[in-house]
Amino acid sequence: MTTDLKEKAPLGRVIVITSGKGGVGKTTSSAAISAGLAKQGFKTVVIDFDVGLRNLDMTMGCERRVVFDFINVIQGDARLKQALIRDKRLDTLSILPTSQTRDKNALTKEGVEKVLDELKQEFDYIICDSPAGIEHGAQMAMHFADEAVVVTNPEVSSVRDSDRVLGLLSSQTKRAETKDSEPVKAQVLITRHDPVRVESGEMMTVEDVLEILAVPLLGVIPESQAILKASNTGTPVVLDQPSVAGRAYEDAVSRLVGNDVEMRIEGERRPGLLHRIFGRAS
């Protein structure tokens, strides 16, 4: 029979964007990474797991087009196709928004798995934008992940929370629970990096962060006005005018799909000027 001979397309990869701490740049990174993948021609869907907050649709600029959402699909009130929103800029990009319900337990493991299994048939990449914390919502976002992007700011509290999340990724996920399966492939994405504050000792260096977390580095995204501007207008930064931050996300996306891209650590502000004026104490 022809169907037996037909080669099956590989299933899509599920990537969770997680961190532990809130406000570090998960939603910004989910938007930029999913748009970056779609720009490269990969069929990509980005899912908002942050039930109650519902930020992703605004960051992607599609909040007015939300009719049904992830929770409606899980609860059987809508079909997946009715809830998916096709991006107006890239036809390879879709968004699955969430609801503003207060009921955090609306995300069930069975429901999430069913939706992801269906999406894996159609998309190359499924990006899961996690809520903050390490409770139910964050665990649902990471449970079925093949890979994780751990978003970390170069400061002690963020690094500590990322370290906790790395612990959960290696113990509480489906891959961790399934004998003989590869562990979740985790990489760290350092965001809001400011070379001036690193230079002055207010911020941790990239090396310090990597020494503590001990996972590969996916990229370094600078603290950037371009990101604030882009997210206020509902434009993922890689689809906006060229910027240092947009380029840093494009590089990270290239690494995510397996290309070997040289690590550039660029800031919008450069260290040196104050340094040159005031010099160093030593």
Ligand X SMILES: Nc1ncnc2c1ncn2[C@@H]1O[C@H](COP(=O)(O)OP(=O)(O)O)[C@@H](O)[C@H]1O
Q: Is 124 near ligand X (CB under 6 A)?
A: no
Phi, psi of 53 (to 5 degrees): -85, -50
Q: Which of 224, 236, 243, 252 binds ligand X (CB under 6 A)?
A: 224
53-61, 66-74, 95-103, 160-168 -> range binding Mg ion (CB under 5 A)? 53-61
207 burial (CB, 10 Å; 0-12 / 13-18 / 19+) is: exposed
**Do residues 146 and 175 make contact, with C-beta atoms less than 8 angstroms apart?**
yes
Q: Is 25 near ligand X (CB under 6 A)?
A: yes
25-33, 111-119, 159-167, 211-219 -> range binding ligand X (CB under 6 A)? 25-33
Identify which of residues 181 and 225 has a Cβ nearer to ligand X in the complex. Answer: 225
CB of 237 to ligand X, least distance (A): 8
Q: Is 18 near ligand X (CB under 6 A)?
A: no
> What number of other Cβ atoms are within 10 A of residue 114's Cβ?
14
Alpha-carbon gap, residue 127 to 141, rounded angstroms? 10
Helix (H) or strand (E) holding 220, with range, is: strand 217-222
Q: Which of 18, 27, 153, 173 binds Mg ion (CB under 5 A)?
A: 27
- Nearest to 244, CA basis, from 194, 187, 189: 194
From the list ligand X, Mg ion, none, which binds 152 (C-beta under 5 to 8 Å, kind-based)?
none
Q: Please, which residues have CB within 8 angstroms of residue 254's CB and are 6 or more apart in sequence?
A: 40, 261
From the list ligand X, Mg ion, none, which binds 273 (C-beta under 5 to 8 Å, kind-based)?
none
Residue 75 identity (one-letter amino acid): Q
Count of residues that interact with ligand X, criterion CB under 6 A: 19
Binding residues for ATP: 21-28
Tokens (6 digits) for 98: 């969430």
Alpha-carbon gap, residue 198 to 214, rounded angstroms? 20
Q: Which of 13, 21, 26, 193 binds Mg ion (CB under 5 A)?
A: 26
Identify which of residues 85 and 245 has a Cβ nearer to ligand X in the complex. Answer: 245
Interface mask toward ligand X for 130-149; x: CB under 6 A: --x-----------------
Query: What are the E-state strand segments in 97-139?
Result: 125-129
Angle of helix 244-256 versus helix 225-232 axis, rounded to 10: 80
Kindly write down the DSSP assignment for every residue of 192-203, as one continuous string. EE-HHHHHTTSS
18-26, 118-126, 232-240, 268-276 -> range binding Mg ion (CB under 5 A)? 18-26
CB of 212 to ligand X, least distance (A): 19
CB of 74 to ligand X, least distance (A): 21
> What number of other Cβ atoms are within 10 A of residue 201's Cβ?
8
Q: Which residues bind ligand X (CB under 6 A)?
A: 19, 22-28, 55, 132, 191-192, 221, 223-224, 227-228, 231, 245
Q: Which residues bind Mg ion (CB under 5 A)?
A: 26-27, 55
